[in-house]
Amino acid sequence: MTVPVRRDAGVTVPAGFRAAGVAAGIKASGALDLALVVNDGPRDAAAGVFTRNVVKAAPVLWSREVLKQHRLRAVVLNSGGANAATGPGGFQDTHATAEKVAEVLGSGAIEVAVCSTGLIGERLPMPAVLSGVDSASGALADSAGAGLDAATAVMTTDSVPKQAAAGHPDGWRVGGFAKGAGMLAPNLATMLSVLTTDAEAEPEVLDRALRAATAVTFDRLDVDGGTSTNDTVLVLASGASGIRPGEAALTEWLTAVALDLVLQLRADSEGATKDVDIVVTGAESDGDAIAVGRTVAEDNLVKTALFGSDPNWGRIAMALGRAAARIDPDLVSIAINGVTLFANGTTAADRSAADLSGRAVEIVIDLGLGEAGATVYTTDLSHGYVEENSAYSS
Q: Which residues are catalytic?
A: 190
CA dist 371 → 280, 325, 365, 367, 379 (Å)? 10, 14, 13, 10, 26
Span interacting with a second copy, options 19-27, 77-85, 170-178, 195-203, rule CB under 8 A: 77-85
DSSP single-letter state for residue 3? P
Q: Is 255 helix (H, G, I), strand (E, B) or coil?
A: helix
Q: Is position 314 an interface residue for a second copy (rule: CB under 8 A)?
A: yes
Q: Which of 217, 228, 232, 238 binds a second copy (CB under 8 A)?
A: 228
Span interacting with a second copy, options 6-14, 32-40, 224-232, 260-268, rule CB under 8 A: 224-232
Q: Is position 242 an interface residue for a second copy (rule: CB under 8 A)?
A: no
Residue 249 vs 343, nearer CB to a second copy: 343
Least gap, CB of 342 to a second copy (angstroms): 6
Q: Which of 17, 253, 307, 377 binds a second copy (CB under 8 A)?
A: 307
Angle at 357 between CA 355 and CA 362, to 5 degrees: 60
Q: Which of 141, 160, 248, 386 binds a second copy (CB under 8 A)?
A: 386
Q: Is position 349 an interface residue for a second copy (rule: CB under 8 A)?
A: no
User: What gap in Å lies between CA 268 and CA 39, rounded to an integer?
Assistant: 29
DSSP single-letter state for residue 216? T
Q: Which of 2, 29, 357, 394 binds a second copy (CB under 8 A)?
A: 394
Contact 14, 238 (CB under 8 A): yes
User: What gap in Å lies between CA 32 and CA 19, rounded to an integer?
Assistant: 13
Contact 93, 122 (CB under 8 A): no
DSSP single-letter state for residue 81? B
217 is in an annotated binding site: no
Q: Which of 42, 204, 246, 383 binds a second copy (CB under 8 A)?
A: 383
230 is in an annotated binding site: no
Q: Is 195 helix (H, G, I), strand (E, B) or coil?
A: strand
Residue 145 vs 321, nearer CB to a second copy: 321
Q: Is position 240 an interface residue for a second copy (rule: CB under 8 A)?
A: no
Contact 227, 60 (CB under 8 A): no
Q: Write a three-state SS string for 91-157.
A: HHHHHHHHHHHHHHHCCCHHHEEEEEECCCCCCCCHHHHHHHHHHHHHHCECCHHHHHHHHHHCCCC
Contact 236, 196 (CB under 8 A): yes
> Which residues in 13-72 contact a second copy (CB under 8 A)?
52-56
Q: Is position 304 an interface residue for a second copy (rule: CB under 8 A)?
A: yes
User: What gap in Å lies between CA 263 and CA 286, rounded to an integer?
Assistant: 21
Q: Is position 308 an interface residue for a second copy (rule: CB under 8 A)?
A: yes
One character per residue 282-301, x = contact with a second copy (rule: CB under 8 A): ----------------xxxx
Q: How many residues sit in the footprint of a second copy (CB under 8 A)?
A: 67
Q: Which of 171, 338, 347, 371 binds a second copy (CB under 8 A)?
A: 347
Annotated binding site for substrate: 156, 179, 190, 270, 389, 394
Contacting residues toward a second copy, per CB under 8 A: 52-56, 82, 84-90, 119-122, 182-183, 185-187, 224-229, 298-301, 304-305, 307-308, 310, 312-315, 317-322, 327, 329, 342, 344-347, 351, 381-383, 385-387, 389-394
Annotated binding site: 156, 179, 190, 270, 389, 394
